[in-house]
Amino acid sequence: MRIVIGADHAGVGYKRDLAEGLRRTGHEVRDIGTHDAAPCDYPDFAAEAGRLVAHGEADRGVLICGTGVGMAVSANKIPGVRAASVSEPVTAALARAHNDANIVCIGARIVGPEVAAAIIHTFITTPFSQGERHERRLAKIETLDRARTSGA
Ligand code: RB5
């Protein structure tokens, strides 16, 4: 799977380890930074990863900040992105199965690295359930996207 991964300064070491783990298991990983501990702004990385996923250049995104919240709030501003801030694998599975989430956001200051690896594994291996009710709800989310981008 083609996975884009990004972090701000709060998640930089954590991101490096998770990216290595994904590469070891055969995924194609695009690391968009940040690459050092200098303070930076999470919306920059959320926007870049969100565009790559929304434009079909990556299959899934993984975003790390201190809490996971700033990344999720920012990435969800990109039309076509469904980003979920997740702290354990059950939510990761349901975010895929029910919400067809395409980006998972994790808090490096909240979630230990082993749990983060389990969250990501679950996120990239769980399919969307394609249930009629879930399709209907996703269509309503797309309507919200269109209303926002058209200013309605
Ligand atoms: C950076 O200090 C921190 O605010 C950021 O990583 C994130 O937690 C925001 O949501």
Q: Tell me how far the alpha carbon of residue 45 lies from the centroid of ligand 1, in angstroms.
A: 12
**C-alpha pair distances (Å), 88 with each of 46, 67, 102, 122:** 21, 13, 16, 10
Predicted local distance difference test score (pLDDT) of residue 54: 98
- 9 given a catalytic annotation: no
By the 10 Å C-beta count (0-12 exposed, 13-18 middle, 19+ buried), 107 is classed as buried
Of 9, 27, 40, 98, the catalytic one is 98
Which residues form the domain of 136? 2-150
The H or E element spanning position 2 is: strand 2-7
Annotate 59-110 with DSSP letters as a single string.
Answer: SEEEEEESSSHHHHHHHTTSTT--EEE-SSHHHHHHHHHTT---EEEEETTT
Distance (Å, rounded) from C-alpha 122 to C-alpha 88?
Answer: 10
Look up the CATH number of the domain holding residue 62.
Answer: 3.40.1400.10
- 65 given a catalytic annotation: yes
Number of domains forming the structure of the chain: 1
SS3 5: strand
Residues lining ligand 1, CB < 6 A? 8, 10, 42, 65-67, 69-70
Q: Atom 9, ligand 1: which residue's CA is nearest?
A: 70
Q: Tell me how far the alpha carbon of residue 66 lies from the centroid of ligand 1, in angstroms.
A: 4
Rounded average pLDDT per 10-residue block, the chain, 152 residues:
98 97 98 98 98 98 98 97 98 98 98 98 97 97 91 74
Q: Atom 7, ligand 1: which residue's CA is nearest?
A: 66
By the 10 Å C-beta count (0-12 exposed, 13-18 middle, 19+ buried), 98 is classed as middle
Predicted local distance difference test score (pLDDT) of residue 151: 78
Ligand 1 atom nearest the C-alpha of 11 is 6
pLDDT tens sequence across 75-95: 999 999 999 999 999 999 999
Predicted local distance difference test score (pLDDT) of residue 149: 84
Ligand 1 atom nearest the C-alpha of 8 is 6
